[in-house]
Structure 1
Amino acid sequence: MLAVLNGHTQCVSGLLRAGASVDVQDMWGHTALHRGAAAGEEECVRLLLQRGASVCLRDTQGRSALHLAAACGRASVLRALLRAPSPLQETDNQGFTPLHWACYSGYDSCVEMLLRQDTSRTMKGSSFSPLHCAVINNHERVAQMLLMGFVVNRAPLHAAVFSDHVECVRLLLRFGALVNHTDTQQHRSPLMMAALRGHTNSVEVLLKSVSTDLSLQDVEGNTSLHLACSKGLETCALLILEKISDRNLINCTNRALQTALHLAAQRGLTVVVQELLLKGATVSAVDRNGYCPALACAPSREVANCLALILRSMCTVSGWKGPVCVSSQDLNDSDSETY
């Protein structure tokens, strides 16, 4: 192992002639072949393979020499290992194949070699596909190589958006990724994810797609506009608002009965509030706490209730008959009414 790791070819050859076992594993499960693959010692790897070193042996993390060669970008070693009889797409303990690791690290020469193998098996493994690995690390060339040969796995668009790799987002959309595909946990589309994380560049690219559905809601009933407003992300909220003309969508509520106006007011997004009002946002919508958007601006429930009482008193004194929402929380029975 030490001789291989340091590339001492003559020493390796002498030890093998003296009967050194090629498949002995250390405490991490690494063999001499693992070491040679990771270090890129092609000649040492060739000598080990000639002596029958097993490409299939895995370390404590379930990785074979193929995994390490692909992960470290050792193209010449990988080529030698691929010539040896082995189950090419053995998965490690995380469900990742050598192709996953090559894509994650962005080694296109290794990716190309692996794609030349049995592609029906090459793309198998974890649900986090090789394409996910490429786009989440912004390896656009590797992603393109994958896309040229395979039908797009829709979920990678989320990975590209999550990391705000705009060129990968464009690439995936060009190859037909579904812009309205939602994840399984939060039921969020790529646009929702971009809005939630404040990735304005990705938001702009996704909004250019005519098929982008702005009415989609996640498990909490939030639209992409709700999510941008809830995080105080003014630019993202304004970009989305530019594309909305439907007043019903402007006044859409989440499970807490909050409109985008409630959330924008809470976060002090003055320009967004102004734009919402111009587009027909209702000021009388009441959330599940009994608060209208004006009361949602209050820093605490106690302040909101005080403000509600003052507003009601002002309206009574002035004789105002228009709608003013006051909180039903912490008021007397005679006061627990929404005006």
Structure 2
Amino acid sequence: MHKEAGDPEVYNKTALHWGAEKGHSGVVIKLLNTGVNVDIRDDRGRTALHQVCFFGHAVVVVMLIGKGSIIDAVDKNGFTPLMSASQGGHDNLVVLLLDAGANIGLKDVKGRAAIHYASTHGRCSVVELLASNNADIKIKDNGGCQPIKFAARSGHDSIVTKLIQMGVDVNCKDNEGCTSLIAASHEGHDKVVKILLDNKAQVGIKDITGYTALCAASMKGHAAIVHLLITHGASVNAIDGVTPLLFASAGGKEELVTLLILYGANIEAVSSGGESSLLVACKAGHVSTANILLEEGANPHTCDCEGNTPIQVAIDKGYTELVSLMSNPPTERLHLMTLHEVASESSSSTKYSPSGESKSPVSTTTSNLECVVCMDDPRTSTVLTLPCRHAVTCQRCMDDMEARGDKRCPLCRTEIKQCIPIFIN
């Protein structure tokens, strides 16, 4: 088999490695019977047992173990066959290796054990199997990361749930103060975030840099997670040198900028360096984001600690469209209401029908705003329409309206420029 010299899949594997990887038991036994060393290593220091455990060929595993292959052989990075089988998700091979005496608690050079690899790669049944064989479910790697953080960061909700049920601390931190909630929020795994929040994950925990889960979600533009965190008590104006609105503005996350303002974010809050949301948006050249901020009344002449203003930054960077925008800011400002103000206004509205006929009044409780379009079994309003700022429609009805080409608010019939998904508690 020809491979390019630089192919990362080669590593100077021997015929035994290739035979084991492909599950060719006849080739493997023939090689071993001719005197090939059962534990011959490739360039990474891996044996054929390492190789076959990842690819899951049980017959070859039994064959290699029977020929005396070292069960806990470690490669140059401390990686073992048990770690390989756990990463590959092969329960049967994990059982074979444990029955043959594999050490379940061995760590590689990064301090990671087999359960870390199973958690990272979403191997829930392997995690359960390892735990039932006394693997430490709270074991930490060199960075202080427990298996739950690996699972949360990778979006494996079933493993996160299982580890919580087994008694893992949902708020455990790594060496940098990062929790599973911060990791999942950063990566955009909303299902994992919800599971963690439902199990009392603390939204206000900060890592060593001062970042919270809300900061992490705002930085990456994960609007659904921002909803979840705020509705579970995250402070939209937490100040520790930076705010979620600053992150969203710097990243040009227009929907998120609008959403944070709706949740009451202070538009003039500044970083430790005196940078406003408008200034960081201008630094990055985000015209639409800057326009939203200006419509909300952001001051284009506010200075940071070095005397820079948003308009000066735009001039220095040659962003002519931004310069023009701030030289002639919007005369009609949007002044978005907070969501509770939206809820209060919308709760006095009446039911809508395509024929214009009024229906029964909408629920007056902000925790149960009924969609004005649903005719039977009304659903909760979860969509805010802009620029009219009415929160009177559920997502399903909004989708139906869009499919029909109806782009007007069902309440006031103003043309919809933007839809924002919301959760009102």
Fold shared per TM-score above 0.5 = yes
Match of 2:194 among 170, 191, 194: 170
Equivalent residue runs for 1:52-201 within 5 Å: 52-120=68-136, 123-126=139-142, 127-149=144-166, 150-152=168-170, 153-154=172-173, 155-184=179-208, 186-201=209-224
For the structure 1 residues 176 and 296, does the alpha-carbon distance in structure 2 shift closer, same or farther, using more than 3 Å as the test? farther
1:216 maps onto 2:230 in alignment: no
Higher RCO (Cα < 8 Å, 6 or more apart):
1
The residue number in structure 2 matching 1:322 is none
Relative to 1, partners in 2 of residues 1:298 and 1:110: Cα closer, same or farther, differing over 3 Å? closer
Within the candidate set 266, 272, 283, 2:293 is matched to 272
- Which structure 2 residues correspond to residues 197-276 of structure 1 after superposition, within 5 A? 197-210=220-233, 212-218=234-240, 221-244=241-264, 249-263=266-280, 267-268=286-287, 269-275=290-296
Give me the whole-angstrom Cα distance separating, in 2, the residues matched to 1:52 and 1:180: 53
Instruction: Summarize deviations over 1:278-311 as a string: whole Å, max 9, x none.
Output: xxx6777443243566x4574228999xx9xxx9
Gaps of 5+ in 2: 1-15, 174-178, 328-425
> Residue deviations 1:116-168, cap 9 Å, x none?
12243663324233222222222211221122111113511122112211111
Q: CA deviation at 1:243?
A: 2.2
Q: In the aligned structure 1, how far is the partner of 2:163 from the partner of 2:23?
A: 33
What is the distance in 2 between the residues matched to 1:301 and 1:63?
A: 49
Shift of the alpha carbon at 1:234? 2.2
Shift of 1:63: 0.7
**CA distances 1:190-227 after superposition (whole Å, capped 9, x unpaired):** 111111221212211111112x1233334xx1111122
Residue 77 of structure 1 and its aligned partner are, at CA, apart by 0.8
Q: Does the alignment pair 1:29 with 2:53? A: no
Q: Distance in 2 between matches of 1:113 and 1:301?
A: 57
CA contact under 8 A between 1:102 and 1:111: conserved in structure 2? yes
| Cα distance in structure 1, aligned partners of 2:29 and 2:281 | 71
Counterpart contact for 2:105–2:136, Cα < 8 Å:
no
Residue 203 of structure 2 contacts residue 212 of structure 2 at CA under 8 Å; is this kept in 1?
A: yes
In the aligned structure 2, how far is the partner of 1:8 from the partner of 1:291? Answer: 68
Cα distance in structure 1, aligned partners of 2:268 and 2:231: 23
Q: Which amino acid counterpart does residue 215 of structure 2 have in structure 1?
A: M
Output the amino acid matched with 1:164.
G
> CA, structure 1 residues 33+250, in 2 after alignment: closer, same or farther (shift >3 Å)?
same
- Residue 38 of structure 1 aligns to a residue whose secondary structure is helix
Counterpart of 2:237 in structure 1: which amino acid? Answer: S
Q: What SS is found at the alignment partner of 1:58? A: coil
Distance 1:45 1:231, change over 3 A: closer
Letter of the 1:230 partner, please give it: A
- 1:336 equivalent in structure 2: none
Quote the Cα distance in structure 1 between the aligned partners of 2:255 and 2:29.
64
**Number of matched pairs:** 294
Q: Is there any run of 5+ residues in structure 1 with no aligned partner, and where?
A: 312-339
SS at match of 2:69: coil
Secondary structure of 2:159 counterpart: helix
For residue 329 of structure 1, what is the aligned residue in structure 2?
none
Larger mean Cα displacement after TM superposition, 4-13 or 91-100: 4-13
Q: Taking structure 1 as the reference length, what is the TM-score of the superposition?
A: 0.75
Deviation at 1:65, TM superposition (A): 0.3
Whether contact under 8 Å (1:104, 1:130) holds in the other structure is yes
How far did residue 107 of structure 1 move? 1.8
Measure, in 2, the Cα distance between the counterparts of 1:103 and 1:121: 10
| CA shift in 2, pair 1:124/1:230, >3 Å | closer
Judge which range, 163-172 or 80-89, deviates more: 80-89
Q: Percent identity at matched positions?
A: 25
1-side partners of 2:36 and 2:291: how far apart? 75
Report how far residue 177 of structure 1 moved: 1.8
Distance 1:172 1:255, change over 3 A: same
Structure 2 CA distance for partners of 1:273 and 1:45, relative to 1, 3 Å: same
2:71–2:81 CA contact under 8 A, matched in 1: yes
- TM-score, normalization: structure 2? 0.61
CA contact (8 A) 1:217 1:224 kept: no
SS for the counterpart of 1:181 is coil
* 8 A Cα contact 1:265 1:273, kept in partner: no
Note if contact 2:20-2:52 (Cα within 8 Å) is conserved in structure 1.
Answer: yes
Tell me whether 187-196 or 92-101 shows the greater mean CA deviation: 92-101
Distance 2:31 2:314 in 1: 78
**Greater helix percent: which structure?**
1
